[in-house]
Structure 1
Amino acid sequence: MENGTSHSLQDELDTQDLLHGNVLVFHHLMSSLKSLSLRCACGLGIPAALHRLGGSATAAAIVAETGLHPSKLPYLRRLMRALTVSGIFKQQPSPSPAAAGNDDTVYTLTPASRLLVGDTPSSTMSALLSSRPEAGFAMFFRLEEWFRDGGGGGGAGTTTLFEMAHGVASPWDLAREDDDYNRALNEACVVDTSFVMDVVLRGAGGDVFRGLTSLVDVGGGYGAAAAAIARAFPDVKCTVMDLEQVIRGAPVDGGVVQFVAGDMFQPVPPAQAALLKNVLDCWSDDDCVKILRQCKKAIPTRDAGGKVIIINTVVGHGPNDVAVRETQVLYDMYIMSVDGTEREEHEWRKIFLEAGFSDYRIMPILGYQSIIEVFP
């Protein structure tokens, strides 16, 4: 109280600050609708319909192409408008002046929505169309409950958000119990890996594999990364090591790579280089040190070309873009559900040194992810 009047924090802000703060809070509140709208558009096949229509079409043409009932046309316009504002599609006025009064805006594909087209969808589309969405983001409706739970997170024997939602500690535990989920999980990894490795091998990232004679892909799933490397560099002998439950479901690839059942916390097959793609962010610092020590035992000295190649996020590295920065920290929130973490450079450095490595090099060339070469 001051001079008999109440005083609030809002009184300290001018009108523009109040309005901006209100918009920012409301924007965050509504942001979940962006992902739900995108999931809806993919489920309806809108990106593929636009592609079949030559890359651009009116809402009415999209309704006809996707087989939606004509009564949904005004609602589809609103869905497309939302996804246009968020950058998934673009829009342009109708080329026909006579149609302008009918609001027949023409919608076009963007680089983002082109990733959602095709018989073999990108990893993003695979996630959006997952038959098990409850294994993805729905568990975050219990995030506050998890924070208030005294046994939540922080080490062995504690409850993860994933466990609170599903009764098992991690997706890998669920995969051991559910063959369908195991297959879906590994097939989604194949799609993501195929996309990432195509980008890596067509650009400067491919140089990290040049000159190698052998490579072991640790936790390599169905072998998509190793197969891509073997095709690009036929002289590199590639081995994939993963759990038995994963290896037995791996497709026959004509002997391009060798599959070995094993545990990354146990001895790793020897090779000149070890690859860890999107593995270490799923584990605690202590577990990462253990995994890296096994990899270090499997490779030769640096003078003999020995190294570990990591594909993962390095928070703060990459393009200075809001979407990149937000993706890094939001994915860190997502991986927190299994007690994993996306690390900043100083956190990676600590792990490397503790595992006995002497040097590393970060190549921030994969959008929100980086390639890290770690040397013994």
Structure 2
Amino acid sequence: MGSLTNVREHQAEELWQAHAQVWNMMLNHINSMSLKCAIDLGIPDIIHTHGEPIPLSLLLSKLSIPPARADCFRRIMRLLVHSGVFAQSTISSNETEEAYGLTAISSTVLLKEKSMLPFLRLALDPVMTNPWQCLGRWLTTDGAATTPFELMNGKAVFELAGEVPEFNNLFNDGMAGDAHFVASVIIRDRGDDIFRGLSSLVDIGGGNGAMAMAIAEAFPHVKCTVFDLPHVVASLEGSAKVEAVGGNMFEFIPPADAVLLKWVLHDWSDEDCVKILKRCKEAIPCRERGGKVIIIEMVMKLDNGSSELDETELLFDMLMMCPSPGKERSEQEWKNIFAAAGFLDYTIMPILGLRSVIELYY
């Protein structure tokens, strides 16, 4: 009788653990929407300006939150504290009132002076999140829509950006925000290795020129060109060191010592990546003459681990599936594409956390 009871208790425990896990997955979007709320309200910057943990009452006042919403706000902050976005303490003069401070997360990437906010706003905008509602319908529909994004919005991402200025600005600001961050890290840690020997560089899909301008400023001897779709570079003014050129990378890429592809290839299928890289090969000299392609992308480990970084890789791969026909790739997948495009050698520098700098030569 005792063993039967133990079996039933074990089965009940498994049931409720499964129940809780499914609930957690079901409700995970609340984490991202609460983060979006904190960004929209500018909470990290308010705390930063205050200079120390800010009392809840003062934070409510600065945000002009009416008393009827105060408890709802406190519950949102409780979740963000649990997620590690903020830290909670109590006021020394009033141990009954909580106060909120910054953490490593909010102080390093969520302040206005940092560069991640535009990309977060893009990723969490309804235009980008709504297509997930039709994922199942897209998978089972043999139609013209190549992505869930296209099924939901009636147009591909770059088509929509070309027709809707607000989305175009949102998209370009998001890419520029990430470019500022990536450029600062690369220039600081490996800039001499990557850019010192170049006299010219073309940033393919360079948006508003954030990456190219950072490189040109750090390495004045490198003539930088931003090459993107005409509607993207239409408002980009060139300078003595940065030129803006509109065009289609599947048709032609301006010649240079190096071609930079930051977060471009993961938007495209393997076949299209080969086509793009073949155009890049036409634009640069061989390795002996200093030519190379500089790729900034994720190199997935695919080790089926259970860490937070492993999950982030999988989630980012899914993120690419929704708005584009592309994906994140393992080293072997990259190697196959490089070989098909006619490149003989490559090096991988894992200096950007989840992403790497790949140098490609022929």
Structure 1 length as normaliser, TM-score? 0.87
Cα displacement (A) at 1:80: 1.1
State which of 219, 224, 227 in structure 2 corresponds to 1:233: 219
Counterpart Cα distance in 2 of 1:26 and 1:215:
49
* AA in 2 matched with 1:332: D
State which of 79, 93, 99 in structure 2 corresponds to 1:106: 99
Q: Would the aligned equivalents of 2:120 and 2:174 in 1 still touch at CA under 8 Å?
A: no
Aligned residue pairs total 353
State which of 77, 85, 97 in structure 2 corresponds to 1:80: 77
Q: Would the aligned equivalents of 1:59 and 1:76 in 2 still touch at CA under 8 Å?
A: no
* AA in 1 matched with 2:40: G
The answer for the alignment partner of 1:35 in structure 2 is: 32
The answer for the alignment partner of 1:310 in structure 2 is: 295
Q: Tell me the alpha carbon deviations over residues 288-314 of structure 1, each in whole angstroms, 9 at most, x when there is no partner.
A: 001001111111111122111001111
The answer for the alignment partner of 2:20 in structure 1 is: 23
Cα displacement (A) at 1:63: 0.6
Q: Would the aligned equivalents of 1:59 and 1:73 in 2 still touch at CA under 8 Å?
A: no
Task: Describe the SS at the equivalent of 2:273.
Answer: helix
Task: Describe the SS at the equivalent of 2:285.
Answer: coil
Q: How does 1:212-227 map to 2 (within 5 A)?
A: 212-227=198-213
Cα displacement (A) at 1:84: 1.0
Q: Tell me the alpha carbon deviations over residues 261-299 of structure 1, each in whole angstroms, 9 at most, x when there is no partner.
A: 221112211111110001000011000001001111111
Distance 1:11 1:139, change over 3 A: farther
Task: Describe the SS at the equivalent of 1:265.
Answer: coil
Cα displacement (A) at 1:131: 11
The answer to whether 1:166 aligns with 2:153 is yes
The answer to whether 1:144 aligns with 2:168 is no
The answer to whether 1:298 aligns with 2:283 is yes
The answer to whether 1:256 aligns with 2:241 is yes
Gapped regions of structure 2 (runs ≥ 5) = 1-6
Distance 1:291 1:12, change over 3 A: farther
RMSD: 2.4
The answer for the alignment partner of 1:326 in structure 2 is: 311
Cα displacement (A) at 1:230: 0.7
Distance 1:131 1:150, change over 3 A: closer
Counterpart Cα distance in 2 of 1:94 and 1:317:
46
Distance 1:363 1:288, change over 3 A: same
Distance 1:45 1:321, change over 3 A: farther
Cα displacement (A) at 1:105: 2.4
Distance 1:129 1:241, change over 3 A: closer
Q: Tell me the alpha carbon deviations over residues 106-138 of structure 1, each in whole angstroms, 9 at most, x when there is no partner.
A: 2211232122222x5633x22444599221112
Cα displacement (A) at 1:349: 0.7
* AA in 1 matched with 2:336: K
Q: Would the aligned equivalents of 1:325 and 1:368 in 2 still touch at CA under 8 Å?
A: no
Q: Tell me the alpha carbon deviations over residues 143-195 of structure 1, each in whole angstroms, 9 at most, x when there is no partner.
A: 111122133xxxxx553211111001x21111222233223322222222112
Distance 1:328 1:243, change over 3 A: same
Q: Tell me the alpha carbon deviations over residues 224-275 of structure 1, each in whole angstroms, 9 at most, x when there is no partner.
A: 111111111111111111111111121x353230112221112211111110
Counterpart Cα distance in 1 of 2:123 and 2:38:
15
The answer for the alignment partner of 1:179 in structure 2 is: 165
Cα displacement (A) at 1:343: 0.8
Counterpart Cα distance in 1 of 2:277 and 2:360:
10
Deviates more, 1:279-288 or 1:183-192: 183-192
Cα displacement (A) at 1:17: 3.8
Q: Would the aligned equivalents of 1:282 and 1:340 in 2 still touch at CA under 8 Å?
A: yes
The answer for the alignment partner of 2:126 in structure 1 is: 134
Distance 1:11 1:299, change over 3 A: farther
Gapped regions of structure 1 (runs ≥ 5) = 1-9, 152-156
